A and B are shown apart, each in its own frame.
Chain A
């Protein structure tokens, strides 16, 4: 029977090594199937995340031959019988084997207020043409696999998680900023804590997106342009000040009530009963 050879990272934050496994190949096999085979037949302690095995949930993110990809969407046939290297995403703290701590992404997401509907659209069915929503729908295809966050230089190489929410959250904010019903000025947040200016447009995020969202071209660059228009264009600023250009109509960002959602950390509960 034909075999697939995998070199899988085994270890935790104290260190680890690549371990070689061989699994029998079946037609239509993806890397996640091979990992499951190892888990079931060879080592039940191999840790990996997965849910849908249909490229819809974005749980089984990993680095396959060094490239951030979904294990469930990577066919073993692609590798022409060569050993396949599978490791965890490297931009996030390692928990064990292929599993990393991605809670930072959820903490940043909690800083972004959801849609705040314009008063004239509140409480009644929206009347919107398909062309009005096509653009927003592209952003909303995101499955939150965080592969774009993993590959982003700002996060991965420079570890500036303090200064940039990352491509995933840019896509989320773009979906709100360009939603025809949203009433909040999101550019204030983009410029400040979300750090849209940190992105230097290398487009690596777009390359790894399993949903083929054109993250840089369709989300980040338009957001950068909006921020630049608001804050850095002296002519537009002048024209606004003398009333030739309209002033910002959207409500200021800090007008949104900020209910604090917490991603609970272990050890923060009361001890005992």
Chain B
């Protein structure tokens, strides 16, 4: 075994996006010593990419007649459950919608500077699937505001930051987590973190797809570390395709066009110039009568939200993504295989004020002027609703001492996430994870670090450097992306999924013989060798779960099982866990929603 250094903390937080940093603050305020591991530099996590806003029912917005919009946690609860096609854990959603407003106001106390209403309150904007204006925002850079606020606050409460450090294995003793093992990205030296409790806040995984808005970090390592340690995974088939990723120019492929563009009146058109979201075939029964039925009403809504219904472009993301896919399949795609998203009618001044970073980014990077021409968009892999099973109250996973919050955890979003709910997810459950991990740390001593586990991981990591010959991890990654994109993207059938599974299994065999050049000193190829193995296993579980769930619900769209089966599949989550070298998948009944919450769905009608 090669030598390594060790750091000890009461609570170790892996991941430094919004959820991780909110957890740091909570654990620190509970009196714990806290170490935080960032795969990149501090403050560079995916949270910065969130644009539209943070969803919380503050009810700040005023109608034209001077009355307040009638928003409350109850309406937010109903919207989130409906958006998630009722696969969400009701208790998680209840906690979330009740606590989100308080958490947002707390950000303001930490230093976040939100846009204001004429009354001087935090401004809220409309978004897909939310009945009222509920996205508290800062122009189109809300995520940046939130991560910087949490970063500054966390720095203020005192933590130890380990930047550019990748954890690859959780260390356990008798089923309890006792720490984590990893390497420094620059020197390649090994490091062990010993902790009484560990919080995973490692985000989602989208890099196994070709079109994704995820950065290199989204390889599923946090999820897979927990899986390898025996944790239960929930509903991995639920992957969100953001309806509007850029498809042209190729240099911008996959980059996100915020839903804020549609919130500000952006229109989707096919190659025939039709505003296809008005086609009744795309309107789910659940939302009938709640959206504008004429283009005139949709444009009146821009000025008067009280007396008009919102445009159908603001249906939940899964609905819009499927409609775009259908249009392109039916031969109505535009020049480069997408559809047009047009916001030019709002005028240059308005766009530059409301969507400044969108305007700037597209202008500088792609030479696209969104005030003058439409964008061409297509669904892109964006977010993972599935993830680690966590307890709704404590955020503890099925492994004692291991907690999870944010995108890596599951239960809140069900089969489809509403825009804006992820930013409130990270602050609500980041705080809870931090508090409960701190409580666990107070009740437990340090566990033992198992040298065998460390030696095994070191051996696994260095194999590709020692190999005399083998394949490039980039080649395997590329083939994985091709098969996932073709066979496990937005629309799936048993046949495409089996094709993907066969290919993944072939790639898993080939991945046993990876060869990378160079040494361990800041070597992206070496990092990729571990990442690709994490991605292969993650992909396998995604595909197996998608095969298992024989229905269409939210993000899961099976062409061979086109109906939503509420009586059967609507009552179960899919749990995946490790069983030797096999993936075991079982169906677990969803907890029954209490009568007083069920009644909320009647009130809203």
Say whether B511 faces chain A, with CB atoms less than 8 Å apart: no
Is the beta-carbon distance between B251 and A28 smaller than 8 angstroms?
yes
Q: Complex formed: what's the CA distance from A113 to B249 in Å?
A: 43
A252 within 8 A of B: no
A129 x B6 contact (CB < 8 A): no
Query: With an 8 A cutoff between CB atoms, is A241 at the interface?
Result: no
Compute how far the CA of A225 lies from the CA of B448 in the bound complex, rounded to whole angstroms: 57
Q: A47-B522, A49-B41, A115-B111 are in contact. Are A54 and B49 (CB under 8 A)?
A: yes
Mark each residue of chain A from 222 to 247: 1 if its CB lies under 8 Å from any CB of chain B, else 0: 00000000000000000000000000
**Chain B 129-161 interface 0/1 with A at a Cβ cutoff of 8 Å (1 = within):** 000000000110101110010001111111111
Partner-binding segment picked from B114-122, B325-333, B378-386: B114-122
Question: Among A79-87, A148-156, A186-194, A259-267, which stretch is in contact with chain B?
Answer: A259-267
Q: How far is the CB of B335 from chain A (nearest CB, A)?
A: 12
Prevailing SS type, chain B contact patch: mixed
Indicate with 1 or 0, residue by residue over B6-50, a CB within 8 angstroms of chain A CB atoms.
Answer: 111000000000000000000010000001000011111110110
Per-position 1/0 for A158-181, Cβ under 8 A of B? 000000000000001001100100
> Does the CB pair B44–A59 fall under 8 Å?
yes
**B516: which A residues are within 8 A, CB to CB?**
44
Contact for B120 among A39, A45, A47, A129, CB less than 8 A: A129
- Among the stretches B315-323, B359-367, B491-499, B597-605, the one at the interface with A is B359-367
- Residues of B close to A57: CB separation below 8 A: 40, 44, 48-49, 215
Q: Which of A43-63 contact B (CB under 8 A)?
A: 44-59
Residue B285, interface by CB 8 Å = no
Instruction: Determine whether A201 belongs to the interface, using a CB cutoff of 8 Å to chain B.
Output: no
Whether B249 contacts A27 by the Cβ 8 Å rule is yes
| B41-A102 in contact (CB<8A) | yes
Q: Which of B35, B113, B139, B518 contacts A179 (CB 8 A)?
A: B113
A270 within 8 A of B: yes
Contact of B367 among A28, A112, A117, A122 (CB under 8 A): A28
Is there contact, CB below 8 Å, between B4 and A272? yes
Query: Does the CB pair A137–B216 fall under 8 Å?
Result: no
Q: In the complex, which residues of chain A have a beta carbon less than 8 angstroms from the beta carbon of B251?
A: 26-30, 33, 75
Q: Are A136 and B113 in contact (CB under 8 A)?
A: yes
Interface string of B203-220 (1 = CB under 8 A from A): 000000000000111000
Partner of A59, one of B41, B116, B152, B157: B41
Task: Give chain A residues whose Cβ lies under 8 Å from the Cβ of B93.
Answer: none
Output the nearest chain B residue to A257 by Cβ-Cβ distance.
B156
Q: Does B162 contact A (CB under 8 A)?
A: yes
Judging by beta carbons under 8 Å apart, are A130 and B184 in contact? no
Interface string of B498-542 (1 = CB under 8 A from A): 000000000000000000111001111100100000000000000
Q: What chain A residues lie within 8 Å of B250 (beta carbons)? A: 26-29
Does the CB pair B161–A45 fall under 8 Å? no
Contact flag A49-B40 (CB < 8 Å), given A44-B516, A136-B113, A261-B158: yes
Of chain B, the residue at the smallest CB distance from A77 is B367
Given the complex, which residues of A lie within 8 Å of B303, measured CB to CB?
none
Query: Is A203 at the interface (CB under 8 A from chain B)?
Result: no
The answer to whether B360 and A114 touch across the interface, beta carbons within 8 angstroms, is no
The CA of A55 and the CA of B252, in the complex, are separated in Å by 12
Beta-carbon contact of A176 and B111 below 8 Å: yes
In the complex, are the beta carbons of A44 and B49 less than 8 A apart? no
User: Are A261 and B522 also in contact (CB < 8 A) when A28-B251, A52-B48 are?
Assistant: no
Shortest CB distance A155–B (Å): 18
Contact with B along A118-160 (1 / 0, CB 8 A): 0000110111111011001100111110000000000000000
| Chain A residues whose C-beta falls within 8 Å of the C-beta of B279 in the assembled complex | none
In the assembly, what is the distance between CA of A261 and CA of B156, in Å?
Answer: 7
Of B185-193, B265-273, B581-589, the one contacting chain A is: B185-193
Does B109 have its Cβ within 8 Å of any Cβ on chain A? yes
Confirm or deny: B248 has a beta carbon within 8 angstroms of a beta carbon on chain A.
yes
A55 and B160: CB pair below 8 A?
no
Most buried by A among B113, B157, B357, B521: B113
A54-B255, A73-B364, A99-B522 are contacts. A133–B451 as well, Cβ < 8 Å? no
Q: Interface extent on A, as a size class?
A: 35 or more
**Other-chain residue from A28, A59, A75, A96 in contact with B248 (beta carbon distance below 8 A):** A28
Q: Which residue of A lies closest to B148 (CB)?
A: A140
Q: How far is the CA of A109 from the CA of B42 in the complex (A)?
A: 11
User: Once the chains bind, are B153 and A114 in contact (CB under 8 Å)?
Assistant: yes
Report how far A26 CA is from B252 CA in the complex, Å.
Answer: 10
CB-CB nearest in chain B for A96 = B522
Q: Tell me whether B105 is interfacial, beta carbon within 8 Å.
A: yes
Check A140 against B113 for contact (C-beta < 8 Å). yes
Question: In the complex, what distance in Å separates the CA atom of A263 from the CA atom of B164?
Answer: 11
Partner of B186, one of A96, A126, A212, A271: A96
Find residues 84-117 in chain A having any chain B CB closer than 8 Å to their own CB.
95-97, 99, 102-103, 106, 109-110, 112-115, 117
Q: In whole angstroms, what is the CA distance A113 to B156 when docked?
A: 6
Which residues B177-236 have CB closer than 8 A to chain A? 184, 186-187, 189, 191-192, 215-217
The answer to whether A45 and B3 touch across the interface, beta carbons within 8 angstroms, is no
Are A53 and B255 in contact (CB-based, < 8 A)?
Answer: yes
Q: Tell whether A44 pairs with B517 under 8 Å between CB atoms, given A95-B522, A143-B144, A179-B111.
A: yes
**In the bound complex, CA of A50 to CA of B144 (Å):** 16
| CA A244 to CA B220, docked complex, whole Å | 64
CB distance from B380 to the nearest CB of A (A): 12
With A and B bound together, what is the CA distance between A271 and B473 in angstroms?
A: 32
Contact B161 A28 (CB under 8 A): no
Taking a contact as CB atoms under 8 Å apart, the answer to whether A99 and B110 are in contact is: no
The answer to whether B161 touches A264, judged by C-beta atoms less than 8 angstroms apart, is yes
- Is the Cβ of A273 less than 8 Å from the Cβ of B518? no
Whether A128 and B49, one on each chain, are in contact in the complex, defined by CB atoms closer than 8 angstroms, is no
| Bound Cα distance A158, B160 (Å) | 30
Contact B474 A44 (CB under 8 A): yes
CB-CB under 8 A for A109 and B155, given A30-B251, A44-B524, A51-B44: yes
A96 adjacent to B5 (CB under 8 Å): no
CB contacts (< 8 Å) of A30 on chain B: these are: 251, 365
Q: B516 CB to closest chain A CB, in angstroms? A: 6
Select which of B109, B364, B528 is within 8 A of A44 by beta carbon.
Answer: B528
Interface pair A130/B116, CB less than 8 Å apart: yes
How far apart are B136's CB and chain A's nearest CB, in angstroms?
11
What residues on B are CB-neighbors of A106 within 8 Å? 41-42, 161, 163
Q: Which of A129, A175, A176, A264 has the most CB of B within 10 A?
A: A264
With CB as the reference atom, state the residue of chain A lying closest to B157. A259
| Distance (whole angstroms) from the CB of A87 to the closest CB of chain B | 16
In the assembled complex, the CB of B152 is this many whole angstroms from the nearest CB of chain A, namely 4
| Chain A residues within 8 Å of B160, by CB | 261-262, 264
Q: Which residues of B contact A136 (CB under 8 A)?
A: 113
A96–B252 alpha-carbon span in the complex (Å): 27
Give the residues from 408 to 467 in chain B that come closer than 8 angstroms, CB to CB, to chain A.
Answer: 449, 451, 454
Complex alpha-carbon distance, A48 and B516, angstroms: 17
| B523 adjacent to A45 (CB under 8 Å) | yes
A133 to B474, CA, bound (A): 46
- Is A28 a contact of B524 with CB atoms below 8 Å? no
Residues on B lying within 8 angstroms of A by beta carbon are 3-8, 28, 35, 40-46, 48-49, 105, 108-111, 113-116, 119-122, 138-139, 141, 143-145, 148, 152-163, 184, 186-187, 189, 191-192, 215-217, 248-252, 255-256, 357, 360-361, 364-367, 449, 451, 454, 472-474, 516-518, 521-525, 528
9 contacts between A and B (CB under 8 A): A46-B524, A49-B41, A50-B216, A56-B141, A59-B44, A137-B139, A140-B144, A264-B163, A270-B5
Residues in A lying within 8 Å of B, measured CB to CB: 12, 26-30, 33, 39-40, 44-59, 72-73, 75, 77, 95-97, 99, 102-103, 106, 109-110, 112-115, 117, 122-123, 125-130, 132-133, 136-137, 140-144, 172, 175-176, 179, 212, 259-264, 266-273
Other A-B contacts than A29-B249, A51-B40, A114-B156, 12 sampled, CB-CB below 8 A, are: A26-B251, A27-B248, A28-B251, A44-B518, A47-B522, A75-B251, A95-B522, A125-B108, A126-B120, A130-B116, A259-B28, A264-B162
